[in-house]
Structure 1
């Protein structure tokens, strides 16, 4: 298990139009009740927030999730003025694949990892979350009282749902629920899917491993996110209740809050950066 960044933090950064974007976040990870090791890894350092859920024998999953998070952390360190270039995600994942194979290739451990997350970027000088995903870890957004799953699982059961063969409720109980169809480090270099979310005041993001979503239904997740006054309370409540519901896997959660967007006449200008095209 690798954790990079602050467990709890709050910061303000200047937007190109002179306003100040105020963010708060918190992260938490737990081994769970039935696992010997925690093979999840987490990055919570502006402008990158990510969770990686490793898999493979003899702690190979820990190696894989560590590789992905460390490569994304390198992108985080390159970011200027708190904003990222999302086009750096794909090269980081490619480098992580090489790291994983170098560490485990001779052992034939079939190491791999999911990774999902969001980085803060600028598009036409406006702030957006660039969400990325490989595998079945998830990103949710809570706008007002509406919870939406942003990412789409790369899994056998998701393909069944898309084909109309089973319902979402059936997918949650399906025996093939743990089989994913895309991972970093398994097979060819995995290509991430991307989404752009406009950054607005009071938006709350949840980034989590499937150890959380296997124990909590979306309605329960929504309830915890709505009730929690701050990010630290939200992640604690989510992880604790996932453990109370069985804790069959490692459980990791990151909550990022857009606390407010304030006027900031004295804020320094932010250099223009190239982001994802809309």
Structure 2
């Protein structure tokens, strides 16, 4: 499918999205937004109704990015913070506190030229496949990532550590919930492929597996479906969502 025109002098991004409840969960608490210029994945937390409520509230606020001409990073940060406030405003139950992690990219018109503003809170991720090389753009806000940064855990050990799903920042959830995302600027290049995903995908597929699927040359929708199929084949322990965005080459790029 093709996205509506984005507010930049570049071609329309092409995208595909897929999500699945997984093999162990009863409810899919993931959600996504895919309307140019914004491509976002939200992973609700708090259990069933709480997680779904958090996802709906976050996506409702983040929808402002689809109707806003983004010319600076602050615009993205402000709207993500509004999403955090929307989640925090959901009434909490004694056993469930709604929260969510989020990651995404927004196509922006910056002074430097067309730029992807990538952002995240929690352990949802953004990856970039450029000229055959896969890069994890965002850095998790998680307990195991803090241990990796402190050289107390290797990335390989983190993949199987029982604390790997403990996040240190979120939208709501009472977890450092100011809603301030990390941001990264990626100059737009024709031929780039971006993956935005929930941890249900990245926990199942390592970088090598992701690079294989993303680099297979399939269209975005088929690629997103293949990502989810691979996650299910690897165990499907959590809800999984894949949002694949391609920037076609263009004259003058």
Pairwise same-fold verdict (TM > 0.5): yes
| Secondary structure in structure 2 of the residue aligned to 1:52 | strand
Matched, 1:182 2:169: yes
Matched, 1:239 2:228: yes
Question: Structure 1: how far apart are the matches of 2:131 and 2:90?
Answer: 44
Matched, 1:260 2:253: no
The counterpart of 1:37, out of the listed 27, 30, 33, is 27
Deviation at residue 68 of structure 1 after TM alignment = 1.3
Matched, 1:21 2:14: no
Q: Which runs of 4+ in 1 moved over 6 A?
A: none
Matched, 1:193 2:182: yes
Which structure has the greater CA radius of gyration?
1
- 2:105: which partner in 1? 118
- Cα 1:111–1:14, aligned 2, differ >3 Å: closer, same or farther? closer
Question: Structure 2: how far apart are the matches of 1:231 and 1:129?
Answer: 18
Deviation at residue 108 of structure 1 after TM alignment = 5.9
Deviation at residue 15 of structure 1 after TM alignment = 4.7
| Secondary structure in structure 2 of the residue aligned to 1:189 | coil
- Cα 1:13–1:263, aligned 2, differ >3 Å: closer, same or farther? farther
- 2:57: which partner in 1? 67
Structure 2: any 5+ residue segments left out of the alignment? none
- Cα 1:71–1:197, aligned 2, differ >3 Å: closer, same or farther? same
Matched, 1:139 2:126: yes
Structure 1: any 5+ residue segments left out of the alignment? 1-7, 265-278
The count of residues paired between Structure 1 and Structure 2 equals 251
Superposition TM-score, scaled by structure 2 size = 0.92
Superposition TM-score, scaled by structure 1 size = 0.84
- The alignment yields a C-alpha RMSD, in angstroms, of 2.0
- Cα 1:13–1:89, aligned 2, differ >3 Å: closer, same or farther? closer
Matched, 1:54 2:44: yes
Deviation at residue 78 of structure 1 after TM alignment = 2.8
